[in-house]
Structure 1
Amino acid sequence: MPEPSGVSVFIIDDNETTRAVLRMIIQGDAYHVIGEANNGMLGLERARRLRPDIVCLDIEMPGSNGLDVLVEIKKKLPNTVVLMVTGSNDRATIVTAIQLGASGFILKPFNSGIVLDTLDKTVALLKPRLKK
């Protein structure tokens, strides 16, 4: 079976509806959702195995904070781009996420045009970091 074209994306979010909406928005010719997880530790384990180009990572999850998972992803998958998914506009959290290595944010509630625009801009700016 041929490898799907496009940039590979992995979604980590505890909310099933959020994952489904993101998957529907992202999946297409330019982006291929290769997997998802409903918590940070499982997401980290799967991302390490699948080695996605981009991870969409929820900040607030029970059990494992998205910022902690971000640190681990950047340690174990330094070329993977991480976009934080959040409904919060807490400036301190945003600044911390950027300092820890987040490349951008996808804000809830989702607007499909804005989500795809964020992905497109991220890929354009960070192309050298992507493995493709």
Structure 2
Amino acid sequence: MKTSPKNNIPKPMPARCRTVSNGSLRINDAGKPGLHVSYANPIDAFVGHGGCDSDEWINKIVLGPNGDGDFHEGDPQAVCIAFSGIGQTCLSREAFHPKQAGTTGYAHVVENRLTAIGRIHGNMTG
């Protein structure tokens, strides 16, 4: 959810794009002629590649900051905690996000869906 820069109060999601009971996004304009909307579900592709699996595609907890673009102590959106022996540290933006193999996994899911609906033919990368 976006926040107002002045007072950091969450802004409501536009009416045309709200979360519905099944967890998917509903876009009121999706049925308009000429607009093609499809969903690519990545869950099956990621089975066996979670943060605790031997072939991880997703990062577990990653402490930061890991560069200028990461969370730093004092950032309003940062989740910072004190660890014994480490001191105050923040969770990294990398935490619970895909590793290189995970982004490739997502790309294959989207590529397969685009092929299935006739939007691309062959390999997107070659």
The interval holding the TM-score normalised by the smaller chain is: under 0.3
Q: Give the structure, 1 or 2, with the largest relative contact order (CA under 8 Å, sep 6 or more).
A: 1
Higher-Rg structure is 2
Q: Please give the TM-score of this superposition, normalised by the length of structure 1.
A: 0.26
TM normalised by structure 2 equals 0.27
| Structure with the bigger percentage of helix | 1
